């Protein structure tokens, strides 16, 4: 996995994406190499391959969004697969009936759509009231897209109920008078949706825990960098003091040697 380190780059190839670890020179000031440049014994800016290098392990900071998207896609595929199989079974088990003059979903007026939804499922009353207030008919509902559901602030579960009704209409099973069978189907769908929501919630909790761990690891890495920087500054200061001391010693030697000349 790659980790992007802010304000830190490889002095060999200039990348900011370090794989698993980076190598910090203990001789040069603020000199880092990625794994590839370290393995190739890169030398630049006065750095020599013989210098001691400190390996700094890096936490994986991969964006969790792809994980969330992966679970979301998985849930969508599960819903589509379930609805597809469910509608197929309904079509196979639908009893043959004599032709009757019945209203289909797309033929319902605004008021008839409100009445139908509230009788079908009392929990749909809030949605039905919103649709009636905006004068949405059955034909309008059948043509709804994702933006329409968002504009009416329809919940996930209610949206799936409405989509099931629309899919039944497209499959030719749109007799709005058969309320008991539709209510039974919606009850089963509720159970599936509830199970999916619980699974998604559990995975979201796992993702949150992973994000917390990554955040702590990033803080530890920053603290480690700060400590290393302090040590380097202390070593640099000690080196300067040693140079000054050596200069004084050399001056003393020169003075002693000059006084010992005949």
3-state secondary structure string across the chain: CEEECCCCCCCCCCCCEEECEEEEECCCCCCEECHHHHHCCCCCCCCCCCCCEEEEECCCCCCCHHHHHHHHHHHHHHHHHHHHHHHHHHHHHCCCCCCCCCCCHHHCCHHHHHHHHHHHCHHHHHHHHHHHHCCCCHHHHHCCCHHHHHHCCCCHHHHHHHHHHHHHHHCCCCCCCCHHHHHHHHHHHHHHHHHHHHHHHHHHHHHHHHHHHHHHHHHHHHHHHHHHHHHHHHHHHHHHHHHHHHHHHHHHHHHHHHHCCC
Same structural domain, 53 and 123: no
Instruction: Enumerate long-range contacts of 109-117, CB under 8 Å, 24 or more apart.
Output: 109/137, 109/138, 110/135, 110/136, 110/137, 112/138, 113/137, 113/138, 113/141, 116/176
Mean pLDDT of the 128-153 span: 86
Same structural domain, 158 and 132: yes
Q: What is the pLDDT of residues 29-46, one digit of tens each?
A: 889 999 999 999 988 888
Same structural domain, 85 and 166: yes
| Average of per-residue pLDDT values in the chain | 76
Same structural domain, 103 and 168: yes
Same structural domain, 79 and 192: yes
Q: What is the pLDDT of residues 64-73, one digit of tens each?
A: 445 455 555 5
- pLDDT-derived band at 99, boundaries 50, 70, 90: very low
pLDDT of amino acid 33: 92
Mean pLDDT of the 106-133 span: 86
In a domain, 239, yes or no: no
Mean pLDDT of the 99-108 span: 63
- Is residue 102 pLDDT above 60, yes or no? no
Domain CATH code at residue 11: 3.30.60.90
Same structural domain, 50 and 166: no
Which of 44, 62, 80 corresponds to the end of one domain?
Answer: 62
Mean pLDDT of the 180-188 span: 66
pLDDT of amino acid 101: 39
pLDDT of amino acid 83: 55
- Is residue 231 pLDDT above 50, yes or no? yes
Same structural domain, 170 and 145: yes
Sign of dihedral through CA atoms 85, 86, 87, 89? Answer: positive
Same structural domain, 105 and 189: yes
Sign of dihedral through CA atoms 233, 234, 237, 239? Answer: negative
In a domain, 217, yes or no: no
In a domain, 242, yes or no: no
Same structural domain, 105 and 142: yes
pLDDT of amino acid 140: 87
* Domain membership of residue 103 as a residue range: 65-198
Distance CA 88, CA 124 (A): 25
In a domain, 210, yes or no: no
In a domain, 207, yes or no: no
Q: What is the pLDDT of residues 127-139, one digit of tens each?
A: 888 889 989 888 8
Same structural domain, 146 and 193: yes
Question: Considering its fold, how many domains does the chain have in total?
Answer: 2
Q: What is the pLDDT of residues 45-98, one digit of tens each?
A: 888 888 988 888 776 544 444 545 555 555 565 555 555 555 555 455 544 443
pLDDT of amino acid 2: 46
Mean pLDDT of the 240-262 span: 83
Q: Which of 260 and 124 is assigned the larger pLDDT?
A: 124
- Is residue 175 pLDDT above 60, yes or no? no
Same structural domain, 193 and 80: yes
Q: Encode burial over 127-140: b for 16+ CB neighbours within 10 A, e otherwise.
A: bbeebbeeebbbeb
Same structural domain, 56 and 178: no
Distance CA 205, CA 139 (A): 40
Sequence-separated (6 or more) residues with CB below 8 Å from residue 210: 64
- pLDDT-derived band at 173, boundaries 50, 70, 90: very low
Q: Which tokens sit at 9?
A: 């780059």
């Amino acid at each position: 996995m790659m980790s992007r380190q802010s304000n830190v780059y490889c002095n060999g190839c200039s990348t900011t994406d370090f794989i698993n670890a980076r190598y910090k020179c203990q001789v040069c000031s603020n000199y880092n190499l990625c794994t590839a440049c370290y393995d190739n014994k890169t030398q630049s800016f006065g750095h020599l391959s013989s210098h001691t290098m400190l390996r700094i392990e890096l936490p994986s900071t991969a964006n969790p969004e792809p994980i969330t998207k992966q679970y979301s896609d998985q849930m969508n595929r599960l819903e589509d697969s379930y609805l597809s199989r469910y509608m197929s079974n309904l079509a196979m088990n639908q009893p043959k009936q004599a032709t009757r003059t019945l209203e289909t979903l797309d033929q319902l007026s605004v008021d008839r759509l409100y009445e139908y939804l509230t009788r079908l499922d009392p929990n749909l009353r809030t949605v039905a009231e919103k649709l009636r207030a905006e004068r949405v008919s059955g034909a309008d509902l059948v043509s709804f897209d994702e933006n329409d559901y968002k504009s009416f602030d329809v919940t996930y579960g209610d949206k799936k109920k409405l989509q099931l009704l629309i899919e039944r209409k497209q499959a030719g099973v749109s007799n709005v008078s058969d309320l008991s069978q539709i209510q039974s189907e919606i009850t089963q769908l509720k159970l599936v949706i509830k199970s999916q929501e619980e699974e998604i919630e559990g995975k979201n909790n796992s993702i949150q825990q992973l994000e917390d761990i990554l955040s702590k690891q990033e803080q530890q890495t920053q603290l480690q960098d700060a400590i290393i920087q302090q040590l380097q500054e202390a070593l640099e200061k000690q080196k300067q003091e040693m140079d000054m001391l050596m200069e004084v010693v050399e001056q003393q030697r020169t003075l002693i040697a000059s006084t010992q000349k005949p």
